[in-house]
Structure 1
Amino acid sequence: MSMLTPSGMGGKYRVTGNAYPRMRRPRRRGRILAAVVASVVVLSLFGWGALQLVDVFGGGDGDTKANAAPLDKPSCRPVPAPTRARPLGPLPQPTGVTLNVLNATSRGGLAKTTADALAGRGFKVARFGNAPDGYDQKVTQSALLVAGPAGEAAAREAGTQVAGSTVRIDPHRKDKTVDLLIGNAFATLATPAQAAAARVVAANPPPPKPVCAPVTTPAAKGGARRPGA
């Protein structure tokens, strides 16, 4: 019996030789783990390739944020301002303007005092009194001047006497008479120097500003459309 054979062991369990046998871990488990890792890598590459093919054939260029343009984005399209039927021409002198001075405020006696002051500056005052119900205490600015197309130049001349006033053209009026409705913001008439400066601006009005009209843009190619679009 060899000196390496444990006591009491013999027969087929007898160990011979001059060294102990080495016990090694089975290699099957390591092969299985390597196969699983390789399978995961292959599937990942396959999935990435499939996504690239879908993106190419779907019209994308790889930049989803760049292609996802907003639908129906509003933009500004200038709309020409309406032109006058006839040129405005030079403003008339105060003696060529006939006014109806109407008080649209709750302050009593304002129409008469304003009418007297305007008459002193050369304007013709046809009448003065309270504003009609449609304007009574509804004029928020200093004054509102209402005239027909034929009286627009006269209305702008009268507007030079009240700072902050506005002109409204009534297409149904045929005469040149101007209604001067005194508003809640009225304090006093402009000084002669202020009226002269305002007359230069009124005689040379700036060009009208373009009007912004909403415009919709078509949906981006390949993008989703809203329901009903």
Structure 2
Amino acid sequence: MSMLTPPGMGGQYRITGDKYPRMRPPRRRGRLVAAVVASVAALGLIGWGTLQLIDVFTGGKKSTTASSKTGCRPEAATATQVKALPKPGEITVNVYNATDRTGLAKDTADELKKRGFKIGAVGNASKQFDKKVKSTGMLLGPASARNTSLPVLGTQLSGAEQRTDTRKGTDLDLILGDGFKNLTQRAASDQALTRLAAPDPTASPKKSC
């Protein structure tokens, strides 16, 4: 009997040799668990990749989701929005001639009147501007007219310089210079007025929170 055989045991239960047998758990269950974990990980990677591809092809959903979380929505510019600009009938224009051509101020004033502007004084320019305006003309008005009545009058004479001074009242001065030939064509000036009052369609939409 071997020293490894417990007392009272023999026959078919007899253990021979000088080493104890190693008892190992079956390996099949461990392999099965590893295979399941690997399959789940692979499915997760495939699903994540699919979401990334959907986001690439749809585009813009992230920004939409982000704006919905913050409660802000972009406001698109609408064609019904207009700037608060005075109409020609609300603007009084003084027309002065700074050139050596006679009758220029009167003829220009008559044309402006036909286009709806109110006409104030008509005559020769003061010494400050007489024979000193080389461009088509110069528009003068109070500081309050910088973004209101001055741009409206500017649609009638292309290339005219616009300035403000410390005058009282709302009247504007149109000083005709050496480069003046005629007022802007009526159709072109009407289109310029429309563009001036309409909103900019290329402006970035503002967020409303």
TM-score for the superposition, normalised by structure 2: 0.52
Q: Does 2:159 correspond to 1:159? A: no
Query: What residue in structure 1 maps to residue 94 of structure 2?
Result: 100
Query: What residue in structure 2 maps to residue 189 of structure 1?
Result: 183
Whether contact under 8 Å (1:160, 1:198) holds in the other structure is: yes
What is the letter of the counterpart of residue 107 of structure 2? Answer: T
What is the letter of the counterpart of residue 163 of structure 2? Answer: R
For residues 125 and 167 of structure 1, what CA distance do their matches in structure 2 show?
A: 18
Query: What residue in structure 2 maps to residue 133 of structure 1?
Result: 127
Q: Does 2:139 correspond to 1:145? A: yes
For residues 170 and 145 of structure 2, what CA distance do their matches in structure 1 show?
A: 4
Tell me the SS of whatever aligns to 1:112.
Answer: helix
For residues 128 and 205 of structure 1, what CA distance do their matches in structure 2 show?
A: 35
Query: What residue in structure 1 maps to residue 113 of structure 2?
Result: 119
For residues 118 and 203 of structure 1, what CA distance do their matches in structure 2 show?
A: 19
From the CA coordinates, give the structure whose radius of gyration is larger: 1
Whether contact under 8 Å (1:141, 1:186) holds in the other structure is: yes
Query: What residue in structure 1 maps to residue 163 of structure 2?
Result: 168
For residues 204 and 136 of structure 1, what CA distance do their matches in structure 2 show?
A: 36
Structure 1 unmatched runs, 5+: 1-88, 207-229
Whether contact under 8 Å (1:142, 1:186) holds in the other structure is: yes
For residues 95 and 115 of structure 1, what CA distance do their matches in structure 2 show?
A: 14
Q: Deviations over 1:149-194 (max 9, x none)?
A: 1233112111111111121011x12311100001111111111221
Aligned-residue CA RMSD in angstroms?
2.0
Cα 1:192–1:139, aligned 2, differ >3 Å: closer, same or farther? same
For residues 199 and 105 of structure 2, what CA distance do their matches in structure 1 show?
A: 29
What is the letter of the counterpart of residue 143 of structure 1? Answer: G
Query: What residue in structure 1 maps to residue 76 of structure 2?
Result: none
Q: Deviations over 1:2-39 (max 9, x none)?
A: xxxxxxxxxxxxxxxxxxxxxxxxxxxxxxxxxxxxxx
What is the letter of the counterpart of residue 151 of structure 2? Answer: R
Tell me the SS of whatever aligns to 2:163.
Answer: strand
Q: Which runs of 4+ in 1 moved over 6 A?
A: none
Tell me the SS of whatever aligns to 1:180.
Answer: strand
- The count of corresponding residues between Structure 1 and Structure 2 is 117
Q: Deviations over 1:68-93 (max 9, x none)?
A: xxxxxxxxxxxxxxxxxxxxx53211
What is the letter of the counterpart of residue 123 of structure 2? Answer: G
Deviation of 1:205 (Å): 10
Whether contact under 8 Å (1:151, 1:175) holds in the other structure is: no
Deviation of 1:141 (Å): 1.2
